[in-house]
Amino acid sequence: MTLEPFFALTPQQPWYNCPSAEESAPGVTAFVNVWNMSALAWGGAGGTKPTLETQLEEGWVYMSGGTAAPYDEDTGNVIASRERSQIVEIGFQAANVDARNQFLVVIGLHAFGEHALVRVALYRSVLRTDHLRPGDNTLAVLIDCPHDRAWIYLDLKHVKMPDGKASAFGFKGITGYLL
Amino acid sequence: MARIIIVKSAQLKIYLARFEQLLAQDPAERARLNDIETRHEANGKRTPPARVAPPHQESDQQP
């Protein structure tokens, strides 16, 4: 069985709106918002890579290892210091759905080193901190639908390893499916 | 192979209740989200900019 995407977001297409085609058909509104990315530190005369041009052409955004948040700052399993962290904020709202539905959210990330950690949160509550493998990574979150037209908020926060090491990673995109 | 996180409705309700408490303590964040929700429900316009503060201090660690 092949699932059709319910919505898809990338840095080049950061919002999506598909109203219900019919009165009872599911519709969706979704957006992605990126905070405090350090792209400007890369490329340019220094010759560091990936360059801004690469990011634009390939359609992803870069999260610097140097400005990752401390591993242990999210006390109580709640995302802290959001306004000064590198965060990918994802929000979506489905219409004409109910509590029998689920959402499968598939996230594409690309790690540039051995020490890239991403902390995944739902409604600011930490779900898991994942150690990314160098290269492409896929994370998936399966969420029960709270109710019709509920806004769902996911955060991807860049954090350092417990020993303070950190590697950069890129956010490539997110695809949502309605189950 | 994708790594999957599963959130069932019982846990979701706990997260939602905690989220409402957080927003009740942070009217500016509540207003920002209200703005996002209103804009997108209207016709899918772009999100307003995030609230920002000085980022975590840059270290000399690079990838």
pLDDT tens-place string over residues A53-112: 777 777 778 787 778 899 999 999 999 888 778 899 999 999 999 999 999 999 999 998
**pLDDT of res. B63:** 47
B13 contacts on A by Cβ (under 8 Å): 146
Residue type, A179: L
A146 contacts on B by Cβ (under 8 Å): 9, 12-13, 16
Strand arrangement of the beta sheet that strand A117-122 belongs to: A15-18, A27-35, A87-95, A151-159, A117-122, A125-131
Distance CA A18, CA B43 (A): 9
Distance CA A31, CA A13 (A): 9
A38 has a chain B CB within 8 A of its CB: yes
- Closest residue on chain A to B1 (Cα): A138
B12 contacts on A by Cβ (under 8 Å): 122, 143-144, 146
Which percentage of chain A shows pLDDT scores above 70? Answer: 91
Are the CB atoms for A85 and A71 separated by under 8 Å?
no
**Second-level CATH architecture of A7-178:** Sandwich (2.60)
A40 has a chain B CB within 8 A of its CB: no
- pTM exceeding the 0.95 threshold for the entire prediction: no
The per-residue pLDDT for range A121-148, each reduced to its tens digit, is: 999 999 999 999 999 999 999 999 999 9
**pLDDT of res. A9:** 92
DSSP tally for chain B: helices H, then strands E: 2, 1
Q: How many CB atoms lie within 10 A of CB B13?
A: 12
Q: Which residues of B touch A (CB under 8 A)?
A: 1-9, 12-16, 18-19, 22, 33, 36-37, 40-41, 43-47, 50-63
Distance CA A101, CA A57 (A): 36
Interface of A with B in 8-27 (CB under 8 A): 14-17
Question: Which stretches of A38-150 are assigned E, i.e. beta strand?
Answer: 61-63, 87-95, 102-111, 117-122, 125-131, 135-144
